[in-house]
Amino acid sequence: MSLTHIKGEIAVPYEWSYGPVLGQFFAGMKDGKLLGARCAKCKRVMIPPLPVCGPCFLPVENVLVEVGPEAVVQTYTIINITYPGQLMSPPYAVGILRLTGSHTRMQHLVGGSGIAGLRIGSRVRPVWKPPEERTGSFFDIRWFEPVEETQ
Amino acid sequence: MRRVAVSGVAQTTMMERNRSESVQEMIHRVSHEALTDAGISREEIGTVIVGSSDFMDGIAINNVYSVEPAGAFLKDESKVAMDALFAAYYAWMRILSGAYDTALVVGWGKGSETDINTWSSLQADPFYTRPLGLDGIQAAALQSSAYMQRWGIDERSGAGVVVKNLSNARRNPRAIHRPPMDADEVMASQPLASPIKAADCPPITDGAAAIVLAAEDRARTPYAWIAGAGTGTDGYQLGSRDLTVIRSARSAARRAYGLAGIKDPPKEVHAAEVSEYCSFQELLLYEALGLCPEGQGGKFIETGSPFLDGPLPVNPSGGCLGANPMPCSGLVRLVEAVLQVAGKAGDHQVKNARCALAHGASGLAHQAGVVFVLRTQPPP
């Protein structure tokens, strides 16, 4: 006679240090500002920031630069899967957004409750949590919602 | 450059769930089979390189656990923590260096024993993208959406890839045999992350593969010769990449084609085995690997070119949609490419295939890629 299997789960705790670049970025989130990292050599602005410019292989400038708040939707996907810890209930959209003043693009929730009208090329802006609810997280922005085009 | 042959191959019959073997038994079985196939003993092998994932197995530095089953006891051994085709690349380098003459390469994965979406989400950074649920499917969805938008590709072109690969898989005794689907059934399957639906995704798979590489004078049974190989790695953040082009595969292929002297891939490559982790990625790979012009991936499948009876069969084995034992699917692609140029692919043999390509990938939305070009004849 032979048994077939045993179940297990691994939970591993972490405390991830930000370093000075990410530290500034998240302080900016708490303040309701979107900050990008700029390479002194090629001048590319990255958001979310990396501490290093990959192509130039140099550290970014010490002080981050403000970008956005508006962005253009480069692409998006409508999520229908459920999993624990989800930020919203499906269906909702995650997009890749290019903020004004940034060269790289960032992922975030887009559309909020109004995903039907989303298009590639839509202009969007962040919907911030009120200051007292912000903790210095990327999700101090609830989502990006379409900007109403004024005629 | 030394001439190196693939002189032994083995793969398990892929299963959605293999409850009858532990990972160690599966690794041992496939390693032993490859050595026997090559007519070489464990003692004679110069070096063992494994390709596998700590997170998949739930054991840190998991090659400590594969030592005995992979034939590496008291031998030179190392690991690449990526798709096992990257381990084959490393093994090839070791032989080219002259430090070794033969290598055993082993890869495995039991996707049924963990949650592979949690596994792929561990590659997302914890600050920006993991809380968004970024995982393999979401990354592939954003990539596929951007690609389709750029070139006006119809979602049904992805369905065409599913139809082809499931049909090819049914001719491959090692692949998982799922019921065939037509394009309408693919389009009607459960939406996951647009445009990806359940039918666009490979099956969760338990499986393993192994090969023996041997320098020319040590290859007793050379099935295929490595004409060239290359790797390429794109940036990490999806937002810093051009998601409409799989740049990792493109730069890996350029290096491999350069070494192999290939100037016109559609004419000179007779069969291609590629790692499509979702149907749409196969369209992107046709372009990145130079099998069709940029932007024409949809047209390529619509004209029937990559079908088994077409002029340039892609994934005659059924590809990852046929069986996807992550993270060794790329090594399975190499085994299949070897079978093609050796004339041993049975019911899914591409006629007169003398030059075949094998592609592997790791990382979200194919951040890293590796390409091998194999030929029936040794390099000049």
Of B131, B138, B239, the CB nearest to A77: B138
Structure tokens at A7: 């179940």
Tally A–B CB contacts below 8 A.
97
What residue type is B320 in one-letter code?
A: C
Is the previous residue joined to A69 through a cis bond, with omega within 30 degrees of 0?
yes
What residue type is B157 in one-letter code?
A: S
CA closest to A119 among chain B residues: B149
Strands (E), chain B: 4-11, 47-51, 76-80, 102-110, 191-193, 196-197, 206-215, 224-233, 271-273, 355-362, 368-375
- Decide: B241 and B365 in contact? Cβ < 8 Å: yes
Please indicate whether, in this complex, the C-beta atoms of B127 and A104 are within 8 angstroms of each other. no
SS3 B46: coil
pLDDT digits (tens, 9 = 90+) for A47-71: 999 999 988 989 999 999 999 999 9
The residue-averaged pLDDT of B85-90 equals 98
| Residue A138 contacts B where some CB pair is shorter than 8 Å | yes
The confidence score (pLDDT) of residue B117 equals: 87
pLDDT digits (tens, 9 = 90+) for B176-202: 999 989 999 999 999 999 999 999 999
DSSP class of B238: G
Of A5, A85, A104, the CB nearest to B237: A104
For A75, B242, B336, the CA distances from B140, given in Å and listed in that order, are 12, 13, 24
Q: Concatenated DSSP letters for B279-337?
A: HHHHHHHHHHTTSS-TT-HHHHHHTTTTSTTSSS-B-TT-HHHH---TTSHHHHHHHHH
CA closest to B117 among chain A residues: A83
Please indicate whether, in this complex, the C-beta atoms of A106 and B132 are within 8 angstroms of each other. no
- Distance separating alpha carbons of residues B259 and A136, to the nearest angstrom: 50
- Decide: B254 and A60 in contact? Cβ < 8 Å: no
Rounded to a whole number, what is the distance in Å from the CA of B72 to chain A's nearest CA? Answer: 26
Rounded to a whole number, what is the distance in Å from the CA of B355 to chain A's nearest CA? Answer: 35
Is the previous residue joined to A48 through a cis bond, with omega within 30 degrees of 0?
yes
CA-wise closest residue to B231 among B370, B337, B73, B42 = B370
Q: Are strands A123-128 and A71-79 parallel, antiparallel or unpaired?
A: antiparallel
- Decide: B31 and B106 in contact? Cβ < 8 Å: yes
The residue-averaged pLDDT of B73-95 equals 97
The residue-averaged pLDDT of B101-108 equals 98
- Decide: B280 and B196 in contact? Cβ < 8 Å: yes
| Residue A116 contacts B where some CB pair is shorter than 8 Å | no
pLDDT digits (tens, 9 = 90+) for B210-228: 999 999 999 999 999 999 9
**Helix H or strand E segment including B26:** helix B23-38
Please indicate whether, in this complex, the C-beta atoms of B129 and A16 are within 8 angstroms of each other. no
As beta bridge partners, residue B375 has B225, B355
pLDDT digits (tens, 9 = 90+) for B246-288: 999 999 999 999 999 999 999 999 999 999 999 999 999 999 9
- Decide: A29 and A11 in contact? Cβ < 8 Å: no
- Decide: B233 and B177 in contact? Cβ < 8 Å: no
- Decide: B259 and B230 in contact? Cβ < 8 Å: yes
The confidence score (pLDDT) of residue A150 equals: 55
| Residue A14 contacts B where some CB pair is shorter than 8 Å | yes
Rounded to a whole number, what is the distance in Å from the CA of A151 to chain B's nearest CA? Answer: 27
Contacts of A104 in chain B (CB under 8 A): 237, 239-240
How does the average pLDDT of chain B come out, rounded?
A: 97
A12 vs B204, residue with greater confidence: B204
| Residue A22 contacts B where some CB pair is shorter than 8 Å | yes
- Distance separating alpha carbons of residues B373 and B337, to the nearest angstrom: 9
Please indicate whether, in this complex, the C-beta atoms of B239 and A107 are within 8 angstroms of each other. yes
The residue-averaged pLDDT of B10-23 equals 95
What residue type is A83 in one-letter code?
A: Y
For A126, B210, B370, the CA distances from B111, given in Å and listed in that order, are 38, 18, 22
Is residue B320 over pLDDT 90? yes
Contacts of residues B292-295 at CB distance under 8 Å and 24 or more positions apart, as own/partner, are: B292/B266, B294/B245, B295/B150, B295/B151
| Residue B23 contacts A where some CB pair is shorter than 8 Å | no
Q: Is B53 exposed, middle or buried (0-12, 13-18, 19+ CB in 10 A)?
A: buried
Rounded to a whole number, what is the distance in Å from the CA of A148 to chain B's nearest CA? Answer: 23
The confidence score (pLDDT) of residue B148 equals: 98
Q: What is the value of pTM for the model shown?
A: 0.94
- Distance separating alpha carbons of residues B285 and A18, to the nearest angstrom: 36
In the structure, what pLDDT confidence band is assigned to residue A149 with cuts at 50, 70 and 90? low
Is residue A151 over pLDDT 80? no
SS3 B371: strand
Structure tokens at B178: 């799922």
- Decide: B209 and B336 in contact? Cβ < 8 Å: no
The confidence score (pLDDT) of residue B334 equals: 98
Please indicate whether, in this complex, the C-beta atoms of B19 and A4 are within 8 angstroms of each other. yes
The confidence score (pLDDT) of residue A54 equals: 87
Rounded to a whole number, what is the distance in Å from the CA of A94 to chain B's nearest CA? Answer: 8
In the structure, what pLDDT confidence band is assigned to residue A117 with cuts at 50, 70 and 90? confident
CA closest to A85 among chain B residues: B131
Is residue B312 over pLDDT 50? yes
CB under 8 Å to B98, separation ≥6 — which residues? B2
Contacts of A80 in chain B (CB under 8 A): 190-194
Of A75, A87, A120, the CB nearest to B132: A87
Contacts of A83 in chain B (CB under 8 A): 117, 133
What is the complex's ipTM, to 2 decimals?
0.84
Q: Please count the other Cβ atoms lying within 10 Å of the Cβ belonging to residue A12.
A: 5
- Distance separating alpha carbons of residues B72 and B86, to the nearest angstrom: 18
